[in-house]
Chain A
Amino acid sequence: MNAPTTLMEEDRSASVRPHLRERLVVIGNGMAGCRAVEEILARDPNRFDVTIFGAEPRVNYNRIMLSPVLSGEKAFEDIIINGDDWYAENAITLVAGDPVVSIDRATKTVVAKSGRVEPYDRLLIATGSDPFIIPVPGKDLAGVVTFRDLDDVDKMLSAAEKGGSAVVIGGGLLGLEAAHGLSLRGMKVAVVHLMPTLMERQLDEAAGYLLKTELERRGQTIVTGGDTAEIVGRDGHVSAVRLKDGREFAADIVVMAVGIRPGTTLARAAGLEVERGIVVDDHMVTSDPAVMAVGECVQHRGNCYGLVAPLWDMCRALADQACEQPSGYEGSVTSTKLKVSGIDLFSAGDFSGGDGAEDIVMRDASRGLYKRVVVRDNKLVGAVLYGDTADGSWYFDLLRKGEDISDIREALIFGQAFASGGALLDPNAAVAALSDDAEICGCNGVTKGKVVATINGGACSLDAVRSTCKASASCGSCTGLVESLLASTLGGAVQSGPKTMCKCTSFSHDDVRRLILEKDLRAIPQVLQELHWTTPDGCSSCRPALNYYLLCAWPGEYVDDQKSRFVNERMHANIQKDGTYSVVPRMWGGLTNPRELRAIADVVEKYNAPMVKVTGGQRLDIFGIKKEDLPAVWADLNAAGMVSGHAYGKSLRTVKTCVGSEWCRFGTQDSTGLGVKLERMTWGSWMPHKFKIAVSGCPRNCAEATIKDFGVVCVDSGYELHVGGNGGIKVRATDFLCKVITEDEAMELCAAFIQLYREQAHYLERTAPWIERVGLDHIKAGLFDQPDTVKRLAARFRYSQTFCQDDPWAQRVAGEDADLHQHMAQVRPLQLEAAQ
């Protein structure tokens, strides 16, 4: 740090100089302090003698432009707001590099670090904010920097000159800009962000996902959900950053950009009212009428701002008050733009949705576009734009003015040019107004003329158009346009296509499954983006379905999304009407032994389970277990060799058996033995819906195999295989599939049939309605048309099973997802606790 310097100082001693004008002392030579002075001068240049104290040894510059300085897109000179001449012209005393260390409100003076005492009539605190340093080991090592001022930028630049690696902790606006700058300067950059989504305060999950993908494409390593454990040093200098999960990233420099805190130290010490920030009223006056405050250090109506835009309004209100024309500041709606070249990103207002809030989402996968506006009470309340931010300012304007947008509601998402187009307000009319050679479907190069001709040629539904001329059959982004053309061409004669998956999408289950494979989609946010979901994070209907489809499509690679699973599959137990759970350990083929029965009996007593019941699937169900006790219950059952029975899952439930040839005088084959083998092969697999198997040892069918999803009926000459039975709401007897000679063939066909069901059925569709929908011939064709399909399907099933046969209970017992079972805290009011 340079020695304190006074750039411009008149020779005036406060004690002797009679002051005609009020003395205004400003603490802080940043954007807020200087802007406030500018506003005051503009109103009344003769009212105050102004002295500005700055901690940095330089003139006032535009702090938000430090990012382009770091990346080399701008030089420091380019970002100076007020040079030496401004201070001189306005007779402002600038005390730079000599920070104020205390305020004495009784004597109305401030004391600087050098010992200089400055009296004031009015004091303006504009101390801005301080970077927040996370308290991890190694935070004080050399090479750990923040990103707040030009000195920080200089440190980063000198590190970048040497090359090597940088780790940025914090994936917010500032962190990403720092990462971008360092990356452009040639460093290998990793960003470690605690939250699952980048810039989660400004972006929703979808936009955060796009941003992450783009930054990764540019060569940055982006770690979301990364919790820093330690900054590792070598010889007093940083060498790496280690995360709590054990991952380590080499670092020659660490940029700490996790957030900022209002700079309130001085104000607090001076006894001013301070909460998170310095508390000010609508005129930016603190609890002391002679002291005003402005900028990131203040708290106004409960809000602290970390962005530049609110400054302008605050400074206006402050200057009005100081010049005795009080107007008042009413808080700001803020917007954000990321200053990373080539990435267009804008967010403003409230995009959390909620009651009465309506989301309008537009996605264009081929252009990497995501737009979302949130409307409440016919007013725009929030907007997130990624890929095309041209309309950001227009949306922001609508938002701030709170204008009624009901007239342009339909066209709002298409932007200003479209919404302001008068006659084009109706999307159908807008599409109808397009010329015949206008391209509708970019993926398949289909013009409007061709789509209309296709419709006139008899294609009366979206699906028919898709299959005839291929418009909207690929990425689907033009689905809305094609629907508009159907409406305008046919009037009321549009036929609706197959049922869509849910209200979040116009695609059917089959479309989604096909596109996941065709477009190589591997995560839920990616599906939502690429397939143009109309909601930001799906709903309770599509999320579990997508989770299953991805799990089925990418065995071993897809990471299961717990929060997209229904409670029972998340808790690995069955929720009951009172919120407790029931626990069903697996009993292979319905067989058990004294050890297992003792363990179950012990669990029932130990946890006071109010009921134990023999289930229809030949096992025991323990009722009334609290979620907190589940891991302990499972540990006891595991100890006796039992694993999860998946009685809660869209998965293989039980394999019911009769005793078969081993004991039964009618038995033709070893039905229990085959049942156990089938269960060992199929347990743990996730399915579109629950799946039950049974093996009966003779045609008397004691195991009721003909109302199961897959049933085996043993006969003297082999095994009859049946599929698609159901004993539920609508009883359906199985269809006979085929007869095989050996156990191995029965096992192979079971695996193949399950895989066909897993790959083709809709989520939450049991085998019975699936077969009713597609027909038994379709199933048979799927299995037998090619000589090796059974073998290939079975191989795919067995491969996927290699990732599924870990007991989920044992994983929880080992501590996985402990949060799901523990309360976050307990509230024990004192008077009640004393009474107990």
Chain B
Amino acid sequence: MIGDWLDIGPVDQITPGTARTLPVLGGDEIAVFRTQANEFYALINKCPHKQGPLSQGIVHGNVVACPLHNWNISLKTGEALGEDKGCVPTIPLRVDAGRIYLLRSAVVGKRAA
């Protein structure tokens, strides 16, 4: 089972309410988020609107506001919220014993449209 999951390090690398980035050789960069409520999410680091780096946005609840044009993107589903339409791929993530794991197949397989 563990082999399917990629250990990307301890949870305390990410301050609550922020995100950090994870470049993928041959794939799209991933943004790993930690909300104020200590939920963890991973998304491709590209806003569905104009590919803004979501990792740099302000995190509120489990929504991130894209730094380029303030689109609000759900961290859970990757969907744009409100009037905006679009969706960014999410990467299955789990936290176990203080470490963050991403689903290996999703890390190397996903590309934003």
Q: Which residues of A contact B27 (CB under 8 A)?
A: 827, 829
Nearest-CB residue, chain B, relative to A832: B26
Does A828 touch B at the CB level, under 8 Å?
Answer: yes
Does A197 touch B at the CB level, under 8 Å?
Answer: yes
Nearest-CB residue, chain A, relative to B24: A827
Does B88 touch A at the CB level, under 8 Å?
Answer: no
Determine if B21 and A564 form an interchain contact, defined as CB atoms under 8 angstroms apart: no
1/0 per residue B18-55: CB within 8 Å of A? 10111111110010100111110000000000111100
Q: Which residues of chain A have a CB within 8 Å of any CB of chain B?
A: 194-197, 200-201, 204-205, 227, 261, 275-276, 351-355, 359, 535-540, 543-544, 562-568, 570-571, 575, 577-579, 627, 819, 822-829, 832-833, 836
Given A355-B76, A540-B70, decide whether A824 and B22 contact each other with a Cβ distance below 8 A.
Answer: yes
Can you name 11 A-B pairs with beta carbons within 8 Å?
A276-B97, A352-B39, A355-B74, A536-B37, A537-B60, A566-B67, A575-B67, A822-B20, A824-B9, A824-B13, A827-B23
Determine if A827 and B36 form an interchain contact, defined as CB atoms under 8 angstroms apart: no
Q: Which residues of B contact A575 (CB under 8 A)?
A: 52-53, 56, 67-68
Complex partner residue of B62 from A353, A564, A833, CB under 8 angstroms: A353
Given A204-B37, A354-B74, decide whether A829 and B108 contact each other with a Cβ distance below 8 A.
Answer: yes
Given A276-B96, A540-B60, A829-B25, decide whether A351 and B15 contact each other with a Cβ distance below 8 A.
Answer: no
Query: How many of chain B's residues touch chain A, expressed as a range?
Result: 35 or more
Cα(A212)–Cα(B113), bound, Å: 45
Q: Which residues of B contact A565 (CB under 8 A)?
A: 58
With both chains docked as a complex, state the minimum distance between the C-beta of A834 and any C-beta of chain B, in angstroms. Answer: 11
Complex partner residue of A540 from B39, B58, B75, B97, CB under 8 angstroms: B58
Complex partner residue of A827 from B1, B61, B75, B108, CB under 8 angstroms: B108
Q: Which residues of B contact A196 (CB under 8 A)?
A: 15-16
With both chains docked as a complex, state the minimum distance between the C-beta of B100 and any C-beta of chain A, in angstroms. Answer: 9
Q: Which residues of A contact B39 (CB under 8 A)?
A: 352
Top-9 shortest CB links A-B = A540-B65, A567-B67, A540-B58, A824-B20, A563-B17, A579-B53, A567-B56, A832-B26, A827-B24
Given A205-B36, A567-B56, decide whether A352 and B20 contact each other with a Cβ distance below 8 A.
Answer: no
Given A195-B38, A204-B36, A276-B96, decide whether A825 and B60 contact each other with a Cβ distance below 8 A.
Answer: no
Given A571-B56, A575-B68, decide whether A823 and B77 contact each other with a Cβ distance below 8 A.
Answer: no
Cα(A826)–Cα(B22), bound, Å: 5
Determine if A543 and B60 form an interchain contact, defined as CB atoms under 8 angstroms apart: yes
Does B107 touch A at the CB level, under 8 Å?
Answer: yes
Nearest-CB residue, chain B, relative to A575: B67
Determine if A537 and B58 form an interchain contact, defined as CB atoms under 8 angstroms apart: no
Q: Which residues of A contact B77 (CB under 8 A)?
A: 355
Q: Which residues of A contact B68 (CB under 8 A)?
A: 575, 577
Nearest-CB residue, chain A, relative to B78: A355
With both chains docked as a complex, state the minimum distance between the C-beta of B36 and any C-beta of chain A, in angstroms. Answer: 5
Does B6 touch A at the CB level, under 8 Å?
Answer: yes
Cα(A221)–Cα(B22), bound, Å: 37
Determine if A577 and B50 form an interchain contact, defined as CB atoms under 8 angstroms apart: yes
Determine if B76 and A825 form an interchain contact, defined as CB atoms under 8 angstroms apart: no
Does B59 touch A at the CB level, under 8 Å?
Answer: yes
With both chains docked as a complex, state the minimum distance between the C-beta of B95 and any C-beta of chain A, in angstroms. Answer: 11
Cα(A71)–Cα(B77), bound, Å: 46
**Interface SS of A by simple majority:** loop
Determine if B67 and A824 form an interchain contact, defined as CB atoms under 8 angstroms apart: no
Cα(A564)–Cα(B14), bound, Å: 15
1/0 per residue B61-103: CB within 8 Å of A? 1100101101010111101010000000000000011000000
Cα(A807)–Cα(B55), bound, Å: 25
With both chains docked as a complex, state the minimum distance between the C-beta of B16 and any C-beta of chain A, in angstroms. Answer: 6
Nearest-CB residue, chain A, relative to B2: A275
Determine if A537 and B56 form an interchain contact, defined as CB atoms under 8 angstroms apart: no
Known: A352-B35, A535-B60, A579-B51. 13 other contacts (CB 8 A): A261-B97, A351-B37, A353-B37, A536-B36, A537-B36, A540-B58, A575-B52, A575-B68, A577-B50, A823-B20, A824-B14, A827-B30, A832-B25
Q: Which residues of A contact B1 (CB under 8 A)?
A: 275
Determine if A563 and B67 form an interchain contact, defined as CB atoms under 8 angstroms apart: no
Cα(A825)–Cα(B20), bound, Å: 9
With both chains docked as a complex, state the minimum distance between the C-beta of A761 and any C-beta of chain B, in angstroms. Answer: 21
Q: Which residues of B contact A822 (CB under 8 A)?
A: 20
Nearest-CB residue, chain B, relative to A203: B37
Q: Which residues of A contact B108 (CB under 8 A)?
A: 827, 829
Q: Which residues of A contact B50 (CB under 8 A)?
A: 577
Q: Which residues of B contact A540 (CB under 8 A)?
A: 57-58, 60, 65, 70, 72
Cα(A597)–Cα(B74), bound, Å: 45
Q: Which residues of B contact A204 (CB under 8 A)?
A: 36-37
Q: Report which residue of B16, B62, B70, B77 has the largest number of chain A beta carbons within 10 angstroms of its beta carbon.
A: B16
With both chains docked as a complex, state the minimum distance between the C-beta of B14 and any C-beta of chain A, in angstroms. Answer: 7
Determine if A824 and B15 form an interchain contact, defined as CB atoms under 8 angstroms apart: no
Given A540-B70, A575-B67, decide whether A354 and B15 contact each other with a Cβ distance below 8 A.
Answer: no
With both chains docked as a complex, state the minimum distance between the C-beta of A822 and any C-beta of chain B, in angstroms. Answer: 8
With both chains docked as a complex, state the minimum distance between the C-beta of B1 and any C-beta of chain A, in angstroms. Answer: 7
Cα(A698)–Cα(B83), bound, Å: 51
Complex partner residue of B57 from A353, A536, A567, CB under 8 angstroms: A567
Determine if A827 and B22 form an interchain contact, defined as CB atoms under 8 angstroms apart: yes
Determine if B22 and A825 form an interchain contact, defined as CB atoms under 8 angstroms apart: yes
Complex partner residue of A825 from B8, B53, B74, CB under 8 angstroms: B8
With both chains docked as a complex, state the minimum distance between the C-beta of B54 and any C-beta of chain A, in angstroms. Answer: 10
Determine if A819 and B15 form an interchain contact, defined as CB atoms under 8 angstroms apart: yes
Determine if A826 and B15 form an interchain contact, defined as CB atoms under 8 angstroms apart: no
Q: Which residues of B contact A353 (CB under 8 A)?
A: 37, 61-62
Determine if A536 and B9 form an interchain contact, defined as CB atoms under 8 angstroms apart: no
Nearest-CB residue, chain A, relative to B37: A352
Determine if A355 and B79 form an interchain contact, defined as CB atoms under 8 angstroms apart: yes
Q: Which residues of B contact A543 (CB under 8 A)?
A: 58, 60
Q: Which residues of A contact B23 (CB under 8 A)?
A: 823, 826-827
With both chains docked as a complex, state the minimum distance between the C-beta of A135 and any C-beta of chain B, in angstroms. Answer: 12
Cα(A568)–Cα(B17), bound, Å: 17
Nearest-CB residue, chain A, relative to B108: A829
Determine if B8 and A824 form an interchain contact, defined as CB atoms under 8 angstroms apart: yes
Q: Which residues of A contact B18 (CB under 8 A)?
A: 562-563, 819
Cα(A833)–Cα(B56), bound, Å: 28
Determine if B76 and A537 form an interchain contact, defined as CB atoms under 8 angstroms apart: no
Cα(A441)–Cα(B14), bound, Å: 43
Nearest-CB residue, chain A, relative to B23: A826
Q: Which residues of B contact A544 (CB under 8 A)?
A: 58
Given A353-B61, A544-B58, A579-B53, decide whether A827 and B21 contact each other with a Cβ distance below 8 A.
Answer: no
Given A819-B20, A825-B9, decide whether A539 and B60 contact each other with a Cβ distance below 8 A.
Answer: yes
Q: Which residues of B contact A627 (CB under 8 A)?
A: 56
Cα(A543)–Cα(B57), bound, Å: 12
Cα(A544)–Cα(B53), bound, Å: 19
Cα(A351)–Cα(B61), bound, Å: 10
Nearest-CB residue, chain A, relative to B30: A827
With both chains docked as a complex, state the minimum distance between the C-beta of B7 and any C-beta of chain A, in angstroms. Answer: 9
Q: Which residues of A contact B65 (CB under 8 A)?
A: 539-540
Determine if B25 and A828 form an interchain contact, defined as CB atoms under 8 angstroms apart: yes
Determine if B38 and A200 form an interchain contact, defined as CB atoms under 8 angstroms apart: yes
Q: Which residues of B contact A261 (CB under 8 A)?
A: 97
Q: Which residues of B contact A539 (CB under 8 A)?
A: 60-61, 65
Determine if A352 and B58 form an interchain contact, defined as CB atoms under 8 angstroms apart: no
With both chains docked as a complex, state the minimum distance between the C-beta of B50 and any C-beta of chain A, in angstroms. Answer: 7
Nearest-CB residue, chain A, relative to B75: A354
Q: Which residues of B contact A829 (CB under 8 A)?
A: 24-27, 108
Cα(A537)–Cα(B97), bound, Å: 26
Nearest-CB residue, chain B, relative to A225: B15
Q: Which residues of B contact A578 (CB under 8 A)?
A: 51
Determine if A195 and B56 form an interchain contact, defined as CB atoms under 8 angstroms apart: no
Determine if A194 and B14 form an interchain contact, defined as CB atoms under 8 angstroms apart: no
Determine if A566 and B58 form an interchain contact, defined as CB atoms under 8 angstroms apart: yes
Q: Which residues of A contact B38 (CB under 8 A)?
A: 195, 197, 200-201
Cα(A200)–Cα(B15), bound, Å: 13
Cα(A544)–Cα(B17), bound, Å: 13
With both chains docked as a complex, state the minimum distance between the C-beta of A582 and any C-beta of chain B, in angstroms. Answer: 14
Q: Which residues of B contact A564 (CB under 8 A)?
A: 58
Nearest-CB residue, chain A, relative to B56: A567
